[in-house]
Each structure stands twice: as structure tokens, then as C-alpha cells.
Structure 1
């Protein structure tokens, strides 16, 4: 169905540090960008608390969403057009799903979700299907069009090729965030030859495949992703900030449930604390709102809440030591917990084990649980071969999950234990041992 005023009278462009320019020719895309739900993404950082580690990481979900849209636009307008297996009638569906794929992210994204047991993908679909400006724009393409967009994002849409462009092991989402996050954090780990990968992408009935000649560019992409996770996304200082952020939210929720009289009432949190969050309440939340409360709560009477907020606002983060969940280490953790309690430091908020885990590449193995769609190479004879069967580099890391554990604690509290010297000495001995 034709969109009213389908093409803009003049192409709009966004200047972008990663893709140079982001081109908008379709009126539906321009109108979606202008909705209040999409504009809200300007107030959600792409990398959460990472700006406290890499000071340039101030970019937003808005930046990233435009970038994913631009990659998809280039693939379907420049690479796929006229090729077998590509149905060009799916073009606008792909572009809309790419633009809106992160629409439901909340403030500080994954940390926020863990505390309140939320899923940003559920909210993405709720925004697309609900009484919103986004839904009204999408409906101009047909009453069932919002449902199709939601299905693509939920990975349930009938055309798996469309889904794989936005969600797979080599999709537009990953390609943009690796390049964008590398740029804004100032590291080189995430850089790879996206231009080459786009040139060797080919549509197949159920997924995007890569020409065999592009295998080395894909190897580079996978290793870039691996390095970004361990050098940037799982950086221990960022994780320290996330631990404190999480504990602030837990403490505020606990105080609310105990009937604590907040000086600054957490009105934006009420529905989250009670587990009855609705779409309207959720859309009012952004990082400016959260940081306002953290700023105010520095002056709360509750010492734990005020201390944690001061730490986050002023970047007085927890220190950490390596930790492994062996029997011996778990015994030490139990001993530390008792010592913290004796010293008057609440271990629930000030002694925290944090774990990070990543699987850089995997593929489906018969008889194992879980669906892992592999990256396929298109051989010169037309045959499809799973990537790790051809690449020794990828084979070496396939299916190998790496996990890292850290123990976080406030070293200033420990070294200030002048009146509890025995406990202080023993705590330091365990942490440094």
C-alpha cells in the first residue's frame, strides 16, 4: 500500500560520524523519526554507565537506531535490489523495523531491566502496537503494518530473511553498534571492514549469506566483536558503576516497601516498585529523570541510599578483585560477609560478586538446546557452508563461552575502619590474598 506522500520532495540527511551521511527519502521514516517515542531515545545512552569509564561514550540509542536504519537501507537499495530471493515489497517493513528495533529501551537499559524484571523488547512491541504516535504513523501503511513490524523485531515474522537482516549473528544492529561504540569510546577494537561485508552479502530464502570471498572480512568482524565485549562492554570499571546503579535501585525499592518517608518522593518509580508499570509510565522514564533522583537522594536520611547516590553522581566507584566461584573462594566470601557485618558495613549493598559472560560465535548442533542460526558462506559452486567449517579462526572460538567474575567493595569504608582494626586487618588480608 502506498504511503500518503510516499517520497519526500527533497531527501533529508543526517550528518553521522560513522556512516558519514544517513539518507531519508521515505516520508514514513521521516515521520517516525519525528514521533515523541523515537525522540525519547535521544535521552537514553547507548552504552549505559560506560561514559564513566570512556568519557566519550555519550552517544544515544537515537544515534544507533539511525545507524542501523542506514545500513539496512544500503543493503536493500544497493546490494539486494533486483536479486533472486529478495522481495522488494518488504523494503519499507525492513526500514521501519531497523529504525524502531530499540524503541523500548529504558534508562541505563540492561541494569534497569534486571532490577525491575523488564524486557525492552516487550516494550518495543507495546509502543509499536499501542496508542502511540509511532503506531499512528505505521498504520498509514495499513492496519496490519504495525503488527508486521513488531513480528520482525520479535523474530516471529514469516520471512526469515527480513528477520536475519536485523537480528542474527551478522546483522545491521551488531555492525552499527560495534563501529559506533568503537568511535565514541576512542578504541580501535570494534573496527572492521563493513564496506566489504555489505558488498559480499547475498539474500537467500531464509537468511543473509556471505560470499566465500568475503570470509576474512567476517572473521575480522567476529574478532572485533569479541574484543569489544572484553575491552569495552565488560570493562570492570563500567561494571562497578553498574553494580552501584543496581544497588541504588534495589535500595530505593526496599525503602519504599518498608514505608520509608522519602524527602524526594520517587513518584516516577511507583509503578516499577509495585510491578504494575504501564506503557505511559514507562515512556516518561529516561536517564535525565533517573539522574535527577540520584542527585536528590544524596541528601536522604537513609545512609545507604545517600552514600550510593553520592558514589554514582561523583564517580566514587567500588574497587574490585578477581573472584572465582570455587569452594575455597566461596568460603572466603562467606568470611568476608561476616566481617563486613561486624564492621557495620552492609554486605548486601557493599560486597557484590558480578559476572560477565560472552559467546562470540556459535551454531546449532543437533541434539542441543537453543536455536543458533549460523553464518553461512556461499561457495563458488552455489553450495552453502557454515562459517566455522571453512575458517580455522572462527572454528577455534565457536561455542566457547568465556566468563569473568569480579568481587566489588568500597575500599574507602574498609580503610576508614580505625575503630575496628582487627576486622580491618582481616578484611584486607582476605581481599589482597
Structure 2
């Protein structure tokens, strides 16, 4: 058989042509662990609100890699020394930074497994791939974990102005059609520089950074924390919780082999061995959707109704307020469910619940976005900006919600 060409060019709707830079990167992209990301939605159930939001973690990872390549070229042009090995490690790390996401991304992050973040699972995947690819990801893992001596390399992967955020804001804005999130990633990257081993933005780029932070705030309220998306994701969490409860009590709950494993076993970080990782790698959105389509007809009232709500997009009502939702606000809705459907107060609690959401576009004490002036001065963006509202973006805004069923 003839050897296939691994230096491919991919067509991306955001950036145009994306070139796969070397055969090692191609082999990572071609690996089954990475290909799974084609079946993991980038924005969970947001497509129930924004019909175009069907893009995947696969799209996002390739976009991040493309932006990282551009950032490296810009910094080298400005005489920041970045070796070939460091560049390749950066591309590997940013490509794999989200590989640990489970089905529907953040929506099910702490539901399938107990208190294990997607970053931890990403690291497990990276270590597994490192062993498979003859330790060629060792430097990438070191940078990803923040253990490499050059701090700015980690900041390009994980900070308040990293390639991850720079891609997902622009990409999510495009696919949802929400123009407020459209940032100038090209301009931001062109203005990057490194001072005292930390990356900075040159003063000419301050307005692009301001736009980036405002766009992030608007995207959270308008898209990521949209009330309908919020309800759908909370229902998804409760579907999984109920399915696990039924399994624990010996009731049959049909699901794929991989999904059944997590329904029937409590998995924590200490349990996450290579066998569990392999089972996790076989899970994607399809497992969850196909299971819920079956669960719509399950004998259990809670599981069947929650599943039907999501599949048929007949969701709960939601009220959002600046005030904490008091327990007495739930009582009439719980009483209605108990009287109408003859279920217990505990079961009714699956359909009537409250919680909180928060939005903080910028954290001034956590890996600041620094603006670099020609005279060598470096200032935090909130100090450098003449935009008064920018300072308020570092304030955490919390809102409270109450969900309950519609009356028939």
C-alpha cells in the first residue's frame, strides 16, 4: 500500500484553510481518542436555542491549533525565541487541551464521573498518548501542567487571553449567529509579545482586548447562560442522576455498553485507570441521545418525563432573579405535581429546583491581561483602559433561578 500524505489542508468556516503542520500532529488528529471529539458538541444543548450551534470539540481544537501556530509566528517575528520542540509541544498541548470532555461538554462534566474535571481527564489521555507515541508528548504535558520554566508558553494554552478562549468566542459567535461575541482574534494575536517571561499585549491592541472582554461577558449572558440552555442542561444532569438511582436499586435501564458502565459504577479520580479511560473514550453525545430516546418509554415517571422534555424540547419554565429563590416559592409547584401525578415530594424535586449562575468576564488577580507600553511600562488592562465599564467586568455578577413545570 502507498503511504498516505499526512500534510493535509482543512477548510474551516472561521479561518479558511488550516494546515496540519507535521506528521506527528496528523497522527494525533487521526487517533481514535481525538476523532471522538467529532461526536462531542462544543456547546452542549445550546442548539435547542441557537439551531446553528451544532459545531463540535473537533472544530474547536483544530481552530485553537491554527491560532497557536499564528501566535508562535508572531512572537518569533518579534524575536521571542521559541524552539521547534517548544512549538511542536504547544501545538500538541492546545490540540489536546479539551480531549477529556465527556458527552455534551460541560453539561455532564461532573455527572458521569464524581468530581473529576475534564482537564484531569485530558491529562490522562495525554499521558496515555505519550506512552503510545514514544514519549513524544512529554514536553507538551509539562507545558500543559504549568511545570515548564517558560511561563508564557503555558499562558498561551491556559490564561484569560489564551488561544482556547480566543477561538471559542469567535467560533461560538459564528455558529450561534450572536454577533456580539465576534472578536478580532487576528488583531489580538498580532499584538502579542513577551516581557519578563510573561505574555503581554502591546498598547496598540488595547481596544481589541476591551472588545474581547466585553464580548465574553455578553456571550455568557446571551448564550452560555441563556435560560433555555440552562434549563436543558439541568434536566440532562437530572436524567443521569435518576438513571444512576434506578440502576443502584436494581431496575434495568437500557444504555450502550460504555454508558452502562458509568451508570452502574461510581467512578472517582482514584478509579480512573487505563481500562476506565478506554471505556470513557467510547462515550459521546450519541450514547446519551439514543439512551434518552429509549428512556422516554421507561416505566419510571421521572426518567421518562425528563427524557421526553429534552428529546421533544418541551422544557421546564424558568424564572431568573437578582434575589435568592426561597424554598416557599417551590412549594405550590411541588404540591401541584404530587396532586396531579401522584408522585412523591422527592420525585417532584426533579422537576422543581433552584440554583444560581454567575458571570465574571475578567479576574484582575488571576493571570492578568497586561498591556505593554513603548516605554517598557506594564499595566493591567483595567488600569490601562480609559473604558470605565471595563473595571466592572471584574465584578462577579450572580443571579438566581427557579425551574418548575408548565401547567397543562
TM-score between the two structures when normalised by the length of structure 1: 0.84
Contact preservation (8 Å) 1:389, 1:395 = no
Per the alignment, residue 354 of structure 1 pairs with: 355
Structure 1 residues 341 and 152, CA gap change in structure 2 (3 angstroms): farther
Structure 2: runs of 5+ lacking an equivalent: none
Contact preservation (8 Å) 1:263, 1:300 = no
Rounded to whole Å, the distance in 2 between the matches of 1:13 and 1:135 is: 27
1:320 maps to which of 308, 314, 318: 318
Contact preservation (8 Å) 1:161, 1:203 = yes
Rounded to whole Å, the distance in 1 between the matches of 2:308 and 2:81 is: 54
Deviation at 1:194, TM superposition (A): 1.8
1:392 maps to which of 360, 375, 386: 386
Are 1:333 and 2:330 counterparts? yes
Rounded to whole Å, the distance in 1 between the matches of 2:18 and 2:32 is: 20
Contact preservation (8 Å) 1:357, 1:404 = yes
Deviation at 1:249, TM superposition (A): 0.2
Per the alignment, residue 190 of structure 1 pairs with: 181
TM-score between the two structures when normalised by the length of structure 2: 0.89
Deviation at 1:324, TM superposition (A): 5.0
Contact preservation (8 Å) 1:243, 1:354 = no
Per the alignment, residue 409 of structure 1 pairs with: 404
Per the alignment, residue 374 of structure 2 pairs with: 380
2:148 maps to which of 150, 153, 157: 157
Structure 1: runs of 5+ lacking an equivalent: 365-371, 416-433
Rounded to whole Å, the distance in 1 between the matches of 2:220 and 2:368 is: 20
Structure 1 residues 274 and 10, CA gap change in structure 2 (3 angstroms): closer
Are 1:98 and 2:94 counterparts? yes
Number of residue equivalences? 391
Give the match's secondary structure for 1:196. Answer: helix
Per the alignment, residue 269 of structure 1 pairs with: 260
Per the alignment, residue 81 of structure 1 pairs with: 76
Q: CA RMSD in A?
A: 2.3
Are 1:232 and 2:228 counterparts? no
Rounded to whole Å, the distance in 1 between the matches of 2:290 and 2:231 is: 20
Contact preservation (8 Å) 1:84, 1:203 = no
Contact preservation (8 Å) 2:37, 2:57 = yes
Structure 1 residues 19 and 286, CA gap change in structure 2 (3 angstroms): same
Give the match's secondary structure for 1:275. Answer: coil
1:107 maps to which of 100, 103, 108: 103
